[in-house]
Structure 1
Amino acid sequence: MNPNMIEEAINKVRTGERQAFTTLITAYERQIYTYCKYILRSREEAEDAVQDIFVKVYQELGRYEKRVSFSAWLYRVAYHHCLDQLRRRKRRSRLLSLYKLQLVRDNSEFPDDSPVDKLFGTLSPEERGLLILRVVEQYSFEEIAQITGSSSAALRKKYERLRRKLIQQKAEEGGCARGEVAESN
């Protein structure tokens, strides 16, 4: 969807035309769901998160400033929401017994079938978020810095370390030789 249509829908919502918000949901729902699913590693939590995120966005739309793209602002809301969810999950998991924790891990929703699932299983939530925003969504480091609240220089370093980690991991699995990996952009 073109940015002018997005801005027009935002302006309509701000003037009280609630129905225009469906334009924003339609434009970004799938991307935000995918982002949340890979950060949270759960379909159900991702579905709930998407609903919560769009409610927050609707309530906070007055705070959106056009100096950043709407999608970057939306991903920032999603990023912080997912981090909050992970913190809550971590607190809950401390209360569970080791036996229950093992059952949850054994019955994980994400089977180790696909290479993507294997890859994401070895990464921290922060690394998964950075990888999705940089590689899949193709945001610049400056845009990712706006989303995450980090500096673009720190993100470049983290991305390079992540890249080296993935190359090393692939080499240890007997995947590709060092020279076969494409250079980063």
Structure 2
Amino acid sequence: MTTDQETIIINQIIGGDTQAFAVLVDRYKDLVFTLAIRMLKNREEAEEVSQDTFIKVFKALPKFKGDSKLSTWVYKVAYNTCLDRIKKNKKHYNDVAIDSFTEHQIKTVDNALDALEEKEQQQTIQDCLQQLASKDSFLLSLFYFEELSLEEISHIVNMETNTVKVNIHRARKRLAIILKQQLEPETIQRYERERS
């Protein structure tokens, strides 16, 4: 959606055009739900948070200044709504220790993943993302699946760009550990032998 199209839709929504709001919801609903489920790890809560996100977007739209793309702003609202829900529920997820994980092992996991069929690879990654902490899953989704820039992500999560970069790198290491546990041991061993 171009900036001009965004401006037109925003003005229509502010003017009370419910059809224009339906277009906005339709455009971003899948993404908002995906991000919510990655952070909350619960379908029912993700659905509730998605609805809450669009209610907040509707109410706050007149205050949208346009300093970022509309999509970035919607992601930010979704992210903050998820954080509010996590704080409310006080849920804690297991973190994976990364101290002993080497770059060589990450490369080995990447090579093993390349050997999987694309659909199987996507499903494996999706399953493993569900096992990550909410923040890690969210950042990786924005960076790799939504292909947002580091600057856009930093705006969404209120972090410095370099901090986002470091967090994505660490999240990727944690994902690699989980992927290694998921992949068949013989596949990993074959690739380790090839690299020796």
Query: Which category of TM-score, normalised to the shorter sequence, fits these structures?
Result: 0.7 to 0.9
Which whole-Å CA distance do the structure 2 matches of 1:132 and 1:47 have between them? 18
For 1:123, give the aligned amino acid.
L
Instruction: Determine the structure 2 residue equivalent to 1:139.
Output: 148
Per-residue deviation, 1:17: 2.8
Per-residue deviation, 1:130: 0.3
Closer, same or farther: CA 51–166 of 1 in aligned 2, 3 Å: closer
Cα deviation code 1:107-157 (max 9, x no counterpart): xxxxxxx53454124311110110111111110010000000011100101
Residues 1:126 and 2:135 are matched in the alignment:
yes
Which whole-Å CA distance do the structure 2 matches of 1:52 and 1:167 have between them? 33
Cα deviation code 1:23-48 (max 9, x no counterpart): 11111111111111121111111111
Which whole-Å CA distance do the structure 2 matches of 1:121 and 1:28 have between them? 21
- Number of aligned positions between the proteins: 157
Closer, same or farther: CA 45–146 of 1 in aligned 2, 3 Å: same
Closer, same or farther: CA 37–130 of 1 in aligned 2, 3 Å: same
Per-residue deviation, 1:171: 4.0
Output the aligned Cα RMSD: 2.2
Which whole-Å CA distance do the structure 1 matches of 2:129 and 2:32 have between them? 17
Which whole-Å CA distance do the structure 1 matches of 2:2 and 2:45 have between them? 29
Taking the TM superposition and a 5 Å limit, the aligned residue runs for 1:56-135 are 56-90=56-90, 115-116=124-125, 118-135=127-144
Which whole-Å CA distance do the structure 1 matches of 2:53 and 2:26 have between them? 14
Q: Which moved more, 1:31-40 or 1:76-85?
A: 31-40
Asked whether the equivalents of residues 130 and 159 of structure 1 are also in contact (C-alpha less than 8 Å), the reply is yes
Normalised by the length of structure 2, the TM-score is 0.71
Asked whether the equivalents of residues 76 and 148 of structure 1 are also in contact (C-alpha less than 8 Å), the reply is yes
Return the structure number with greater relative CO, CA threshold 8 A, min gap 6.
2
For 1:167, give the aligned amino acid.
A
Structure 1, unaligned runs of 5 or more: 92-113, 181-185
Which whole-Å CA distance do the structure 2 matches of 1:18 and 1:169 have between them? 44
Normalised by the length of structure 1, the TM-score is 0.75
Closer, same or farther: CA 87–157 of 1 in aligned 2, 3 Å: same
Instruction: Determine the structure 1 residue equivalent to 2:24.
Output: 24
Structure 1 consecutive aligned stretches of length 4 or more whose deviation exceeds 4 Å:
175-178
Asked whether the equivalents of residues 36 and 78 of structure 2 are also in contact (C-alpha less than 8 Å), the reply is yes
Asked whether the equivalents of residues 137 and 171 of structure 2 are also in contact (C-alpha less than 8 Å), the reply is no
Cα deviation code 1:1-25 (max 9, x no counterpart): 5553332111111233333211111
Instruction: Determine the structure 2 residue equivalent to 1:167.
Output: 176
Which whole-Å CA distance do the structure 1 matches of 2:151 and 2:19 have between them? 32
